[in-house]
Amino acid sequence: MAINKTDNVGSVEEESTVKAEPTKKISKITDNEGKTEVVQEEKKLYRKTRDYGDREYNSEKGYKGKKSSEDFKKSKTYYKDKSAEIKVAIESKLDANPTVKAKYKELVSISKLMETGMHIGLPSRKWNPKMKKFIYTKKGKNYIIDLYFTVVALSEAYHFLYELGKKDGKALFVGTKGWIVKNHIKIESRKVGSFFVNQRWLGGTLTNLKTINNSTKKLSELVALQKFGEISKYSKKEQSVILKDIEKLNKFFGGIRTMKDLPDVLIVTDPVEEKNAILEARKLNIPIIAICNTNADPDNIDIVIPANNYSIKSVYLIIGILADAIALGQGKTANYIGKSDSEIILPESKNQNQ
């Protein structure tokens, strides 16, 4: 069957040619010497190397070399030199506040705090105006936290928890972000005989403690069956069900299994993430100590520790210091307070989400 050609409509052959051109990926280019090369016309997503400003980019290693990349690298003496300036500024502020200075106790060096990135806040678009008091300046897109308020708050928290330890009081540590911090909270709270929640906060953990205790009681009974060999009296299928129940209950209630009464203080790594825990503690007038980034609401917190809680190193160090305060009150040794920078070992990962 013949197809009539018009000015507006081309032949089948012409149409197929037009449609094929955009999908063509290679062409042959001949240089002056008559040699032919096959060249990819389509833009490649990843090139082996390319220029990016005054930096060289490598697809395997990222941006490398030249002066502009040095802005992101700290020399071995950076924290030592910078912390000396900050320490002088903090001492100057303490001299201007004799009441605060009288109670102030230096727990770790300023250089160690800076090494963890404790002073780096969130981008300005995420900030809470109520945290303005604790912000020193803005650098790039991020706010910089004034470490004066950080060290003063740590000192205040130390005195409170030290007295709590002397009275054999119990703290409840809450942190549910990052497996390194979760595990650290578990270890530090058990070291001082306190409680912890490192999984999702269950509503009513404090305000409905009686119901929660029913679950912890069941967990204790199942653990006892396993511990004393009574579980062997059950069939294999029943044993499997019991072990699954133990695993599930232990995940959420393992850290508060022995918490029969309300804790004496709530220690939170992120009040934005754990807002339900904050609200329950506030209803029951339980004192709250919290690590607050620049996006937090400090109004409901009794002791605000302004710090970067998106950094694992920062949270790790602060939790260690707070647990040490309780431990010293109990007559135990400290792992972080009063130690030199080289003696304080922190995890390698910097990002809380890792």
CA-wise closest residue to 94 among 147, 134, 58: 147
Residue 321 domain flag: yes
Please check whether residues 159 and 217 belong to one and the same domain.
Answer: no
Using one digit for the tens of pLDDT, what is the confidence trace for 262-296? 999 999 999 999 999 999 999 999 999 999 999 99
Per DSSP, the three-state class of 133 is helix
CA-wise closest residue to 265 among 247, 253, 252, 277: 277
Among candidate residues 242, 261, 280, the one where a domain is terminated: 261
Which pair of tokens denotes residue 269? 């790594």
CATH number of the domain enclosing 338: 3.40.50.10490
Q: Tokens 């390194």, residue?
A: 180
CATH number of the domain enclosing 215: 1.10.287
Per-residue pLDDT at 82: 82
What is the maximum span of the chain, computed from C-alpha positions, in angstroms?
Answer: 102
pLDDT tops 80 at residue 24: no
CA-wise closest residue to 288 among 209, 210, 171: 171
CA distances from 96 to 48, 75, 99, 100, 167 (A): 57, 33, 9, 9, 33
Write down the pTM of the prediction: 0.76
* CB-based burial, 279-314: b 16+ in 10 Å, e otherwise: ebbbeeebbbbbbbbbbbbbeebbbbbbbbbbbbbb
Please check whether residues 144 and 194 belong to one and the same domain.
Answer: yes
Quote the domain boundaries for residue 119: 97-206+262-354
Per-residue pLDDT at 79: 64
DSSP string, 35-76: -EEEEE-SPPS--SEEEETTEEEETTTEEESHHHHGGG---T
Please check whether residues 248 and 295 belong to one and the same domain.
Answer: no
Per-residue pLDDT at 226: 85
Please check whether residues 305 and 252 belong to one and the same domain.
Answer: no
Q: Which of 12-16, 109-113, 236-240, 244-248 has the highest mean pLDDT?
A: 109-113
Please check whether residues 167 and 225 belong to one and the same domain.
Answer: no
Cβ within 8 Å of residue 138, ≥6 positions away:
124, 144
Q: What total number of domains does the chain contain? A: 2
Strands 135-139 and 62-64, how do they pair? unpaired
Per DSSP, the three-state class of 264 is coil
Using one digit for the tens of pLDDT, what is the confidence trace for 85-112? 999 999 999 999 999 999 999 999 999 9
Strands 36-40 and 26-30, how do they pair? antiparallel
C-beta of residue 299 within 8 angstroms of C-beta of residue 130 = yes
Residue 177 domain flag: yes
Please check whether residues 335 and 300 belong to one and the same domain.
Answer: yes
